[in-house]
Amino acid sequence: MTEEKEQVPHYDVYWQEEPYYYPSPGFVGQANCSDPDIFDRFTLDKFPECFREFADLLHWDKYWHTTFDSSDAPSWKWFVGGKLNACYNCVDRHLAQYRNKTAIHFVPESETARIEHITYQELYRRVNELAAVLRDDIGLKAGDRVTLHLPMTPELPITMLACARLGVIHSEVFAGFSGRACGDRIWDSESAVLITMDSYYFNGERLDHKIKADEAVETAIKQGQRVNKVLIWRRHPGTYSSPTPWVEGRDFFLDEMVRKRKGQLIEPVSMPAEEILFLMYTSGSTGRPKGCQHSIGGYLSYVAWMSRHVQDIHPEDVYWCMADIGWITGHSFIVYGPLALAASTVIFEGVSTYPDAGRPWRVAEELGVNIFHTSPIAIRALRKAGADEPEKYNYQFKHMTTVGEPIEPEVWRWYYHVVGKGRAVVVDTWWQTENGGVLCSTIPGIAPMKPGSTGPGVPGIHPVIFDDAGNEISPEDGKAGNICIRNPWPGSFQTIWKNREGYVKTYYERYCKNPESTDWRDWPYMTGDAALMAPDGYVRILGRIEDVIEVAGHRLGTNEIESGALNVSEVAEAAVVAVIDDDNKGYVPHLYISLRPGVAPSAALEDKISEAIVDGVGEIARPARIILVPDMPKTRSGKLMRRVLASISNYHDVGDVTTLDNPAIVETIRKQVQD
């Protein structure tokens, strides 16, 4: 078996390329970037100085002397010698021109609650008052870590920015995560302070959130990390609305503390570019969560440049990224990127399909959102629950993003034609928590879109596809392999917090040409995704390497099989897994399907799905079994948990599923498959 694998050093790809879609002249005319020669400025021979223009988007207290330092390879340093403050760059520097412009539109979940419009001036005031509390009442200073466990309210970016103002390292944990998960991250990051909220609104309910803080502190203490203070924002200032009791001497109401600091201004701390802005723990589908350590200068310049060139953000735009700030997407593309460019950014507390699938489009209409950013999982959910909703509302997007997973061409077309009304450009941005910002995408004012493909490497990023032996696979080969990036870039994480060995091992060891070398050319970055590059340079992501399935000696990416299934209009979601087949000692595909509402399951429909896959991929991918399920197991960040489905099909233990978004579905599916 192992031997056979070594003879198959790449993945097989069967599906066809989709035709191009071109951006409208109207979009191109207003785009921040419409100069096709931009790639000439970023050829590999111009590395690393080409990244100067990224840093030049920021205000520097002190200009740097060394653009790139590789002496501690592969922990790269960027803009060495430079000093800046991230909060100053996202708030203070905009006051002269944009004082009265909205920085944050806060949309509470309840449709009857008022939308808050926070100007740059008000943001400045609120960030300063909180910084005063954190510095003078709590005693935090540059380099300290603070764990945030905050939901999607303005207090979250305000807290991040106040930390950044002081040089304090924030580590935001997604509010949907349990107290235990939060406690593990408090412990790992060695935070002595936890900042949380008493409660928030979710899917029509008011959730008690403070209860998780107690659990988190207990978990951290058990592992040896004391938490001295728990600072609690109240969702409605002045009214404590959690039934969870108060711990005297440890718990404090932040909204009360900031009131006492009214009008106080705190000088932003000028920080070395290479210091740490924040830690972001990866969703970690396996093993312990890894704290990705992101720098101040490199990260901020990277997200500012990408927000400008890939998201096409202008200061006059109303920009809505529907992700959660608890993920890297929200850090980069709700908070730091848009605010660095003085845009108006939308913070939405709610769930996209609550109270119905028209909600996002009502918000877009009311606020005049013209740039929209979301994930395939949300797009599928909105299409499943309300395919005709967008046309009922009078909003007008110029630009839309998809991120987080491969998007099936069929779903892409719905996004483009129905959500974008055939007028907005779509960028499919491929990147990871580790990367800070986008790696592959089209530049929307320059290149056409291709459904199902992310674009080529963005300017400054040089992707390469290696086979298992480390040979380059050329785009002309039509083969897929392991996608890597040839060169470092400023937005990349510096290391895994306190785990340099894991950093080198996970991302560099496999394709490193010489572990002693301090030459970046010897250290391609391994993403862990399987991908194919077409002759036009566009990359198609097939999924995580560990999700690739092997059928009769052929390695197939999950995405192309699932994409075939999604061509059937009744299908809402599809997940394929490899199942051990005792008869011939190989694997066969099982296909899990959830149907659109109102569609009845039938044998005829199963046949139709099978035929669609055979049509798109070939006989080799014909599912041995199709299982129609009411819903798919998903992570809180919306990724399909194929691993859980594979365990069910293979009669293995499904492991710990409590961190899933919908853990109960696992048992339902298990019964359905195994009983």
Binding stretches for ligand WT7 (CB under 6 A): 282-283, 328-329, 403-406, 428-433, 454, 527-529, 541, 544, 637
Phi, psi of 310 (to 5 degrees): -95, -45
Token pair 């050829």: residue: 43
Buried/exposed 462-491: b ≥16 CB within 10 Å, e otherwise: bbbbbbeeeeebeeeeebbbbbbbbbbbbb
Query: Cβ closer to ligand WT7: 358 or 616?
Result: 616
Nearer to ligand WT7, 55 or 640 (CB): 640
Q: Is the peptide bond before 151 cis (omega within 30 degrees of 0)?
A: no
Q: Which is nearer to ligand WT7, 79 or 327 (CB)?
A: 327
Give the closest residue to 591 by CA, choosing from 599, 582, 487, 612.
612
Residues 233, 169 contacting (CB under 8 angstroms) = no
Q: Rounded to the nearest whole angstrom, what is the least distance from the CB of residue 480 to ligand WT7 in the complex?
A: 13
Residue 418 has phi, psi (to 5 degrees) of -95, -55
* Closer by beta carbon to ligand WT7, 308 or else 544: 544
Rounded to the nearest whole angstrom, what is the least distance from the CB of residue 458 to ligand WT7 in the complex?
A: 12
* Spatial CB neighbours of 306, under 8 Å, sequence gap ≥ 6: 332, 337, 437, 438, 458, 491
Instruction: Tell me how far, at minimum, the Cβ of 84 lies from ligand WT7, in Å.
Output: 24
**DSSP class per residue in 298-319:** HHHHHHHHHHHHTS---TT-EE
The least distance separating ligand WT7 from the CB of residue 326, rounded to whole angstroms, comes to: 11
Q: How far, in whole angstroms, is CA 652 from its chain's centroid?
A: 30
For 349-363, b where at least 16 C-beta lie within 10 A, e where not — what string?
bbebbbeebbbbbbb
Measured between alpha carbons, how far is 182 from 189 in angstroms, rounded to an integer? 11
Q: How far apart are CB 329 and ligand WT7 at their closest, in Å?
A: 5
Instruction: Using the minimum distance from each CB to ligand WT7, give the nearer residue, 210 or 290.
Output: 290
**C-beta closer to ligand WT7: residue 323 or 341:** 323
Is the Cβ of residue 109 or residue 405 nearer to ligand WT7 in the bound state?
405
- E strand spans, 313-430: 318-321, 344-348, 371-374, 399-403, 425-429
For residues 272 and 189, give the distance between their C-alpha atoms in angstroms, rounded to a whole number: 21
The least distance separating ligand WT7 from the CB of residue 597, rounded to whole angstroms, comes to 26
The C-alpha angle 350, 380, 23, rounded to 5 degrees, equals 100
- Phi, psi of 212, deg, nearest 5: -70, -30
Pairing of strands 625-628, 586-595: parallel
Please say which residue, 48 or 491, places its beta carbon nearer to ligand WT7. 491
Is the CB of 155 or the CB of 529 nearer to ligand WT7?
Answer: 529
* In the complex, minimum distance from the CB of residue 541 to ligand WT7, in angstroms, rounded to a whole number: 4
DSSP 48: T
Residue nearest to ligand WT7 (CB): 433
Q: 4 or 546: whose CB is closer to ligand WT7?
A: 546
Closest CA to 281 of 211, 197, 191: 191
**Is 454 or 495 the residue whose CB approaches ligand WT7 more closely?**
454
Least Å distance, CB 264 to ligand WT7, is 36
**Angstrom distance (rounded) from CA 99 to CA 94:** 7
CA nearest neighbour of 19 among 392, 450, 544, 559: 450
CB of 539 to ligand WT7, least distance (A): 9
- Cβ(337)–Cβ(306) under 8 Å? yes
- Least spacing, CB of residue 484 vs ligand WT7, in Å: 12
Here the tokens at position 26 are 């109207």
Alpha-carbon Rg for the chain, nearest whole angstrom, is: 24
**Parallel, antiparallel or unpaired: strands 77-80 and 66-69:** antiparallel
Q: How near is the Cβ of 342 to ligand WT7 at its closest, in Å?
A: 23
Least distance in angstroms from the C-beta of 232 to ligand WT7: 28
Neighbour count for residue 507 (Cβ, 10 Å): 25
Q: Which is nearer to ligand WT7, 353 or 637 (CB)?
A: 637
Q: How far is the CB of 288 from ligand WT7 (least distance, A)?
A: 15
Please say which residue, 167 or 406, places its beta carbon nearer to ligand WT7: 406
- In the complex, the smallest distance separating the C-beta of residue 281 from ligand WT7, rounded to whole angstroms, is 10
Amino acid symbol at 221:
I
Q: Closer to ligand WT7 at the Cβ: 282 or 345?
A: 282
Q: Where are the alpha helices (DSSP H) in 473-629?
A: 500-507, 558-566, 603-616
